[in-house]
Amino acid sequence: MTDLNEQIAESKSFSEAVIANIRQPLLVLDKSLHIVSANHAFHQVFNLKTTETEGALIYNLGNKQWNIPSLRKLLEEILPKRKKITDYEVKHRFPDIGERTMLLNAQEIIRHSESQNLILLSIEDVTDANKADEGNATLATIVQSSEYAIISKTLKGIVTSWNLGAEKLFGYTRAEMIGQSILKIIPPDRINEEPEIIRKIQEGETIAHFDTQRVAKDGRLIDISLTISPIKDNNAQITGALKIARDITDQIESRKKIEASEKRMHNLIYSSPSAMAILDGEDLVITTANETIINIWGKGKDVIGKKYFDVLPELADQGYREIFTGVYKTGVPHNAIEMPVRFLHNGEPTLNYYNFILYPQYNMNNEIDGIGIIATDVTAQALVNKSIKESEERFRSLTQTIPQLIWVTDAQGNAEFASSRWKEYSGVEPGGEKEWEEIVHPDDYAGINESWMKSLATANVYKSEVRLKNRAGDYRWHSVVAEPVLDSENKIIKWVGAFTDINDQKLKDEKKDEFMGIASHEMKTPLTTAKAYLQMLELTLSDTAEEAKMFALKASQSVDRLNELIGELLDVSKIQFGKLNYSMTTFNFNEMIVGTVENIQLTSPESIIIKTGKVNGAVMGDKNRLQQVVINLLSNAIKYSPHSESVFITLAQEKDRITVAVKDTGIGIAEQSLHKIFEKYHRVEEHAVQFQGMGVGLFISYEIIERHHGKLWVESEVGKGSTFYFTLPVNGVQQSE
């Protein structure tokens, strides 16, 4: 009995010790649900004293906190119905300690007498644990519904979770992957990645933004970016890895596109013959520069990554920093044409000319983040332009210093330039519409216009004399010469002309001409008288006085010659004053030639005149004047071929004209004199000493032929002889046969 009592006492103290020490709140209730005992944990959790609990009805505890209807029902059924309460969760707001969630377990404690059976109620405060679970649940929902593929796996690579995002990305369902090896989605050529990942994870490292490829269920390779972090258990042991995968196929695609476009741009810049560079940011850091521009800078290849004006301080000195800043700030590109720029090459200044553009570079947000440079070295062109400019200036100042009035027209004769002297002289702005009408003497205007048009059409040197009105309104004689300027293909591109004031000279000449006219006129009369007396002397001298008769004949011949000479001078004077008269008749041209040849042959037996060809018609013209021309040409031919035995005259009849050629094999005429010999008083200087003459024969002949609407010209070669031609139009020729 004692043993039994001892056993009971032991067991009682054992259970009391357990109840007292356990960290979970415990209550022992009797069948009327009064508290038999409450442990330390209960008092502590619910903030009660022993005096408040012992013998108290559970429902009355601490302001009837425990009077919870659902709890009452359960508690009141434990003993009568032998029921248990298992993990019953009650939420209750306690005035002292706020809302708590409790997990209740209760069962009967069987005593030797049934009426003394008790209830053991254990109360677990799970408020915090529940909160954590709630958090976990929220997290799980997020994970499950995330767009990203979120996968967890063990350190052996066995998949332990697989969210919707992963299903979508890889095409495997959760059921297909959980418990499977992660290798299922790793392409064979990347299988080595896995051990490396696991190794890092084991070391507690997180792998962020690891770009790789995985293979989907349908075999497709997917570009993904992975972030992998270790999973730790409650004891901070690493047990697995959490992978977050993001599909970056599109991103890679667009990156490839950007790379391709960058490559194209790179190629463009590096293969361009233009100098190109890109400067980044406000500091203008050189990020791209092709070889051409690097050579222009002359600072070596090692300039990438450096600030532009650190590399090229000489440009800052030339004011370019402000220009670059301007482009950067305003976004307005800066264009420069043939701009002189000095670079220092190994300390040596170089000067070159560039066309360049500085343009703003924009980033993705459309903000300026740099400057692009495109430049072309145009030094050669610039120097040419410069020298053209200089030569133009020289020309201009030359035209101002010389007394001539210089002018330039285009190929069609439209004024392009007139020296400032032109305006000084005329007071008229060059290039004006009525310029010529205003300045050229009305009597000269038509003629000068016609001959100018002729020169423009034929590209022949233009030569004339014209009266130009000066500021004061007086006309002064000017000679005008204009020459065409030809291009490399012999096409006229310009005419350059000059007016020279010849007024004083002209007045002198006019005086001289006037004098000559008067003198020869005055001489004519006494000469005619002398000739008449000589003829009478000849007749009155007896045949015996033969010598005296011969003297008289010679004197008479000289008077004839003198008469001819004076006649020529008179002709010149008449031509000069437009008084040379023509008496037009119809005559046999051939006969006139034959007669003239015979006459000359008589007076000049030293040379045989050979006539060939014939014209068949009568000519309408002044017979004496045309004869004068033939005499002139034939006697010149004889005179200027002193060592030849013969001269030739050839007639040719054509449809619309006749041509007469007078040829000699004499001394010839130098090229530069050819166009001058038809001028009044002109004699080729080299001939003047040896041959007598006044230099008026060809002048008169030219005038006569012109008045017959014909042409007179010469072909000649020094030492070989000359051929003078003249033509007469056929409308002046009447068929006689």
| Interface pick for ligand ADP out of 197, 664, 726, 728 (rule CB under 6 A) | 664
Q: Does 696 bind ligand ADP (CB under 6 A)?
A: yes
Q: Which is nearer to ligand ADP, 6 or 679 (CB)?
A: 679
Q: Residue 652, Cα to own-chain centre: how many angstroms?
A: 66
Q: How far is the CB of 581 from ligand ADP (least distance, A)?
A: 21
Residues whose CB is less than 8 angstroms from the CB of residue 521 and which lie 6 or more positions away in sequence, other chains included: 570, 573
Token digits for 572?
Answer: 């010149």
3-class SS letters over 248-313: CHHHHHHHHHHHHHHHHHHHHHHHCCCEEEEEECCCCEEEEECHHHHHHHCCCCCCCCCEHHHHCH
Pairwise CA distance, residues 679 & 572, whole Å: 11
Residue closest to ligand ADP when measured from CB atoms: 693
Q: Which is nearer to ligand ADP, 217 or 680 (CB)?
A: 680
Residue with tokens 């033969």: 546
Q: How far is the CB of 616 from ligand ADP (least distance, A)?
A: 28
Q: Which residue in the set 228, 698, 705, 728 belongs to the binding site for ligand ADP (CB under 6 A)?
A: 698
State the nearest-atom distance from the C-beta of 561 to ligand ADP, in Å.
13
- Binding track over 430-449 against ligand ADP, x by CB under 6 A: --------------------
- Per-residue tokens: 460: 């022949």
With beta carbons less than 8 A apart as the criterion, state whether 468 and 478 touch.
yes
Selected from 42, 683, 703, 727, the binder of ligand ADP by CB under 6 A is 683
User: Do 381 and 352 meet the contact criterion of CB atoms below 8 Å apart?
Assistant: no
Q: Which is nearer to ligand ADP, 182 or 696 (CB)?
A: 696
CB closer to ligand ADP, 14 vs 681: 681
- Give long-range contacts, CB 8 A cutoff, 24+ apart: 196-203: 197/228, 197/241, 198/155, 198/157, 198/241, 200/228, 201/155, 201/228, 201/229, 201/230, 201/238, 201/241, 202/155, 202/230, 202/238
Cα separation, 169 vs 216, whole angstroms: 7
Distance of closest approach, residue 631 Cβ to ligand ADP, in angstroms: 10
667: contact with ligand ADP by CB under 6 A: yes
How many residues bind ligand ADP, per CB under 6 A?
Answer: 21
Per-residue interface string for the shown chain with ligand ADP, residues 634-653, x marking contact by CB under 6 A: --xx--x-------------
Say whether residue 62 binds ligand ADP (CB under 6 A). Answer: no
CB distance 580 to 572 below 8 Å? no
CA–CA separation, 410 and 299 (whole Å):
49
Pairing verdict, β 238-247 and 149-154: antiparallel
By C-beta, is 271 or 692 nearer to ligand ADP?
Answer: 692
**Least distance from C-beta 645 to ligand ADP, angstroms?**
15
**d(C-alpha 570, C-alpha 581), whole Å:** 12
Among the listed residues 228, 609, 669, 704, the single contact to ligand ADP using CB under 6 A: 669
Site string for ligand ADP, 704-733 (x = CB under 6 A): ------------------x-----------
Counting contacts by CB under 6 A, is residue 486 touching ligand ADP? no
**All residues at 6 or more sequence positions from 708 whose CB lies less than 8 Å from its CB, including other chains:** 621, 622, 626, 728, 729, 732
CB closer to ligand ADP out of 121 and 684 = 684
Q: Which range binds ligand ADP by CB under 6 A, 56-64, 113-121, 485-493, 630-638? A: 630-638
Residue from the set 616, 693, 707, 711 that interacts with ligand ADP by CB under 6 A: 693
3-class state of residue 725 by DSSP: strand
In this structure, the number of other CB atoms found within 10 A of the CB of residue 583 comes to 9
Interface region with ligand ADP, contact rule CB under 6 A, candidates 52-60, 203-211, 365-373, 690-698: 690-698
- The residue (of 312 and 629) whose beta carbon lies closer to ligand ADP is 629
**Contact window for ligand ADP (CB under 6 A) among 63-71, 243-251, 597-605, 631-639:** 631-639
Nearer to ligand ADP, 619 or 696 (CB): 696
Interaction of residue 197 with ligand ADP, rule CB under 6 A: no
d(CA 41, CA 35): 15
**In the block, residue with structure tokens 């690579």:** 157
State the minimum distance, in angstroms, from the CB of residue 637 to ligand ADP.
Answer: 5
User: Which of 71, 684 has the CB closer to ligand ADP?
Assistant: 684
Whichever of 155 and 565 has its CB closer to ligand ADP, that residue is: 565
Eight-state DSSP code of residue 529: H
Answer positive or negative: Cα dihedral of 660, 663, 667, 669: positive
Please identify, using beta-carbon distances, which residue of 292 and 520 lies nearer to ligand ADP: 520
d(CA 272, CA 327): 23
Nearer to ligand ADP, 38 or 667 (CB): 667
Give the footprint of ligand ADP on this chain (CB under 6 A).
Answer: 632, 636-637, 640, 664, 666-667, 669, 677, 682-684, 687, 693-699, 722
